[in-house]
Amino acid sequence: MVVAVNISITTGTQKENVGRAEVLEGFGIKNDAHGGTWHRQVSLLAQESIEKMRVRGIDVGYGDFAENITTQGLDLVALPVGTRLKVGPSVVLEVTQIGKECHTRCAVYYQAGTCVMPEEGIFARVLAGGLIQAGHTIEVVEEK
């Protein structure tokens, strides 16, 4: 399930939970700095990963790891590259990358000494666009 939809107008910053957004085929989320014609158009992070940081006493919320979509109940890092996800009634994403290398440390890393996004975040490109919002379902429609 989608628990938050987050965007930012600049890269390298935390994202704001906007609740719903338009996803553009071949681009990413409208008005989000990470949109473009590359393989990391949309980022996803599980609420369960955010909870790991909260247990460590770090005050973090949705979008604080610069994820576009905060999910619940889906083991994101277990999805192989190439997996297709249907989000809400029409959006289709294809997983392109699991985790990432952080070239610069974020504010969360300096506060906690670690960050979950490099290990537990995933990235996708948009195969079909539409609207997404908190409460929408996410389902695996094709696994590679």
pLDDT given at position 100: 62
The CATH number of domain 2-142, selected from 3.40.50.970, 3.50.50.60, 3.30.450.40, 2.40.33.20: 2.40.33.20
Per-residue pLDDT 10s for the chain (144 aa) are: 999 999 999 887 889 999 999 999 999 999 999 999 999 999 999 999 999 888 888 888 899 888 999 999 999 989 999 999 999 999 999 999 987 665 455 554 545 455 566 578 899 999 999 999 999 999 999 876
pLDDT given at position 108: 47
Given a contact cutoff of 8 angstroms between Cβ atoms, the answer to whether 91 and 132 are in contact is yes
Extents of the domains making up the chain: 2-142
